[in-house]
Structure 1
Amino acid sequence: MENLDVMVLRTLRDWRLAGRRALLATVVRTWGSSPRPVGSIMALCEDGAVAGSVSGGCIEDDLIWRYSRAYAGQGDAREMPQGAPAFVKYGITADEAHRFGLPCGGTLELLLEPDPEGASLGRLVEQLEAGHLVRRTVRLADGQVTLEPADTPSELALDEADMANTFGPEYRMLLIGAGPLTEYLATMALFSGFAVTVCDPREEYSAGFNVPGARLVREMPDDVVAAFRPDRRSCVVALTHDPKLDDLALLEALGTDAFYVGAIGSRRNNEARRERMVEHFGQTEASLERLRGPIGIYIGSKTPPEIAVSVMAEILAVKNGVPLPRDLDVARAKDQLAVQANDPGALVCGVRA
């Protein structure tokens, strides 16, 4: 599944280049709980077709009802989206929060851009498809758009004159090893919006790998990591249990800006891996601080699909900047279970039983 923002912008571009009227809605502010984060976008065509989302669905329904009727000349002409961008708020009152399906106390504000220029959208999509990070700035007075290259991802910025939203290429995942666990994890990553590359030079594994949408390469993993060039929107996960394949790839990944670098294995295997890297590759505890292992959150998983759920949950938590509770960390959770198994009076949920 491709990056949602790129899909929305490509769809909006096609509508506008075909001469159809449309608007772009962007979440610019939220108060309290909100179903979609600031920066989320949605495109609405004159016939009521929608791409993207700014809420759980109710606000989309209201926008469709209001503006598709206005486009068709059936609604209030004053609601016809045209000219300069305009702000609209939802969920200001308790009744509106209930009507629009917002969480209790939730309020969000949208910026609506009527009929964005198709050529500008085309240039933006072209740069995103080429893997570039782009800052799109909208002048609030007249809707004039400026596109500039961006060095790093950043949050939406809004002031009295402009709104700037940074768009980037899709998140990427590189998986080392093409076993059964990889098939489940690759599938979950794809429907979570990641572009997935799987690397395994072992013919006996790569020959049977078949996940539609995932790219398979057969070069040595450390060379693949170097060619992959992980950035802040990339993660690298080693799944082979083979030091000859995993170790060098992990070391290569630790020297990049990848937001997540980890390897499958038990606590004992993880400790042995770190010892090898210190003894044979000159690493230190500090240089290995970013290396995750055992990977995943603790859910008692034993089967490949459950382990994949555990790993994918941790990757998404790190991607979204969510601190993982200590009781969900694999190593700590297993230590806790071991203590409880050997001592009936051990801690249960943080207190002594």
Structure 2
Amino acid sequence: MDSQDLQVLAALRRWAADGHRAALVTVARTWGSAPRPAGAWMALRDDGRVQGSVSGGCIEDDLVARMLDGRIAGSRPFVLTYGVTRDEAARFGLPCGGTLELVVEPAPDMARLADLAARIEAGQLVRRDVDIDTSTVAVADACRGEALGWDGRRLSTIHGPRWRLLIIGASQIGRYLAPMAQALDYAVSVCDPREEYSAEWDVPGAPLVPGMPDDVVTAMLPDPHTAIVALTHDPKLDDMALLEALKSPAFYVGALGSRVNNATRRARLLEYFDLSEGEVERLRGPIGLPIGSRTPPEIAVSILAEMTAVKNGAAVIRPEPATPASAGCGLG
């Protein structure tokens, strides 16, 4: 599945090929409870057609009106601000007095956008710089950990797979998890030394990395933008990956298995491996949010939901396991 950035880029290039003029709008800065984060993109065609979003809808309607009546024209980028006053925030549906500052490019360079799309599709992390004063746009390699920058005149946005996910186990769950994660701008790779599983792995854009799980984890140099999930259900493989993952700064480390299996795994990691109690406590297991998932796609959704919650700093509360007396009706 294409990321949101690629969807916007594809629309801009497709519209240009069809003879339409189109603008690119970027959320440069937000205050309060803005509905879309800084860096969000929207493409706007000369007839009002839209791809992407910068708010919940009302600002898009105003931008469409500006495009149709000629207020978005020319070639020089400019800044638009919404929600400065309480009345304006209410008018545009911005909650809690939220404010959006947008950079509008009425005529983005399609050749540079094609270069940007090619780099993203190749799995590269890219920085795009827009200078309001000189109307220049530059595209260059970005470093992992770089963030959006905006000083009121120069906008730098980061595009491409800003997060990484290593899946241990070329399982059916992984086949659903990989494309879901790619849609959220994860660069996904898979490790499974078991030929009976790895031979059938064919998820586009999610390469199979050869080697044993612990070696693969060590070689990828996990950072705070890395998630590692162990899905083989084979302790000989999962434990090897977890041994290295739990010692790394990866923001998320999880393993498939029941509460009992994960309790046994934690005890095993403490007893037989060089891991501290704090490092073992980082293990997410049972993996995923407790949403009653049973099928592989449901489990993949629950894993990605928990990864998203952890990444965004949201509280993850797990219910206590039901006791036999309260597990259901008619049990005693």
State TM-score, norm by structure 2. Answer: 0.78
**TM-aligned CA deviation for residue 7 of structure 1:** 3.0
Task: Give 1:278-289 correspondences, 5 Å limit.
Answer: 278-288=270-280
Structure 2, unaligned stretches of length 5 or more? Answer: 328-332
1:35 matched to 2:35? The reply is: yes
Q: Do the aligned partners of 1:196 and 1:213 also contact (CA within 8 Å) in 2? A: no
Q: How has the CA–CA distance of structure 1 residues 213 and 122 changed in structure 2, closer, same or farther, with 3 Å as cutoff? A: closer
Q: How has the CA–CA distance of structure 1 residues 128 and 213 changed in structure 2, closer, same or farther, with 3 Å as cutoff? A: closer
Q: Do the aligned partners of 2:3 and 2:183 also contact (CA within 8 Å) in 1? A: no
Local SS of the residue matching 2:130: strand
- Distance in 2 (CA, whole Å) between partners of 1:204 and 1:46 is 53
Aligned to 1:239: 231
Task: Give 1:167-182 correspondences, 5 Å limit.
Answer: 167-169=159-161, 171-179=163-171, 181-182=173-174
- Distance in 1 (CA, whole Å) between partners of 2:310 and 2:255 is 15
Q: 2:77 aligns with which of 64, 85, 89?
A: 85
Q: Do the aligned partners of 1:177 and 1:198 also contact (CA within 8 Å) in 2? A: yes
Aligned to 2:320: 334
**TM-aligned CA deviation for residue 272 of structure 1:** 2.8
Q: Do the aligned partners of 2:4 and 2:183 also contact (CA within 8 Å) in 1? A: no
Q: 2:104 aligns with which of 112, 123, 128?
A: 112
The superposition leaves residues 91-111 of structure 1 with CA deviations (integer Å, 9 ceiling, x where unpaired) of 345554454333353332211
- Distance in 1 (CA, whole Å) between partners of 2:285 and 2:245 is 14
AA aligned opposite 1:32: G
**TM-aligned CA deviation for residue 160 of structure 1:** 3.9
- Distance in 2 (CA, whole Å) between partners of 1:83 and 1:278 is 62
Single out whichever of 4-13 and 198-207 deviates more from structure 2: 198-207
Aligned-residue sequence identity (percent) comes to: 50
Q: Do the aligned partners of 2:40 and 2:54 also contact (CA within 8 Å) in 1? A: yes
1:132 matched to 2:118? The reply is: no
1:8 matched to 2:5? The reply is: no
- Distance in 2 (CA, whole Å) between partners of 1:182 and 1:254 is 20
Task: Give 1:211-290 correspondences, 5 Å limit.
Answer: 215=206, 217=208, 222=213, 225=217, 232-254=224-246, 258-288=250-280, 290=282
Aligned to 1:72: none
TM-align CA RMSD = 3.7
Q: Do the aligned partners of 1:3 and 1:169 also contact (CA within 8 Å) in 2? A: no
AA aligned opposite 2:3: N
The superposition leaves residues 205-246 of structure 1 with CA deviations (integer Å, 9 ceiling, x where unpaired) of 678889x75858595651665676655544221123210121
Q: 1:303 aligns with which of 294, 297, 300?
A: 294
- Distance in 2 (CA, whole Å) between partners of 1:175 and 1:187 is 12
Single out whichever of 213-222 and 112-121 deviates more from structure 2: 213-222
- Distance in 2 (CA, whole Å) between partners of 1:248 and 1:265 is 16
Single out whichever of 12-21 and 121-130 deviates more from structure 2: 12-21
Q: Do the aligned partners of 1:153 and 1:166 also contact (CA within 8 Å) in 2? A: no
**TM-aligned CA deviation for residue 11 of structure 1:** 3.7
Single out whichever of 176-185 and 127-136 deviates more from structure 2: 176-185
State TM-score, norm by structure 1. Answer: 0.74
**TM-aligned CA deviation for residue 117 of structure 1:** 2.0
Single out whichever of 90-99 and 57-66 deviates more from structure 2: 90-99
Q: How has the CA–CA distance of structure 1 residues 152 and 192 changed in structure 2, closer, same or farther, with 3 Å as cutoff? A: closer
Q: 1:153 aligns with which of 139, 145, 153?
A: 145
The superposition leaves residues 15-51 of structure 1 with CA deviations (integer Å, 9 ceiling, x where unpaired) of 5577753221111222322211111111223243332
Structure 1, unaligned stretches of length 5 or more? Answer: 70-74, 343-353
The superposition leaves residues 90-139 of structure 1 with CA deviations (integer Å, 9 ceiling, x where unpaired) of 33455544543333533322111121222332333333233232222221
The alignment covers a number of residue pairs equal to 325
Q: Do the aligned partners of 1:129 and 1:169 also contact (CA within 8 Å) in 2? A: no
Aligned to 1:324: 315
Aligned to 1:25: 25
- Distance in 2 (CA, whole Å) between partners of 1:56 and 1:311 is 27
Single out whichever of 186-195 and 147-156 deviates more from structure 2: 186-195
AA aligned opposite 1:162: R
Q: How has the CA–CA distance of structure 1 residues 231 and 123 changed in structure 2, closer, same or farther, with 3 Å as cutoff? A: farther
- Distance in 2 (CA, whole Å) between partners of 1:231 and 1:88 is 36
Q: How has the CA–CA distance of structure 1 residues 318 and 208 changed in structure 2, closer, same or farther, with 3 Å as cutoff? A: same
Local SS of the residue matching 1:334: coil
Single out whichever of 47-56 and 239-248 deviates more from structure 2: 47-56
Aligned to 2:330: none
**TM-aligned CA deviation for residue 64 of structure 1:** 2.1
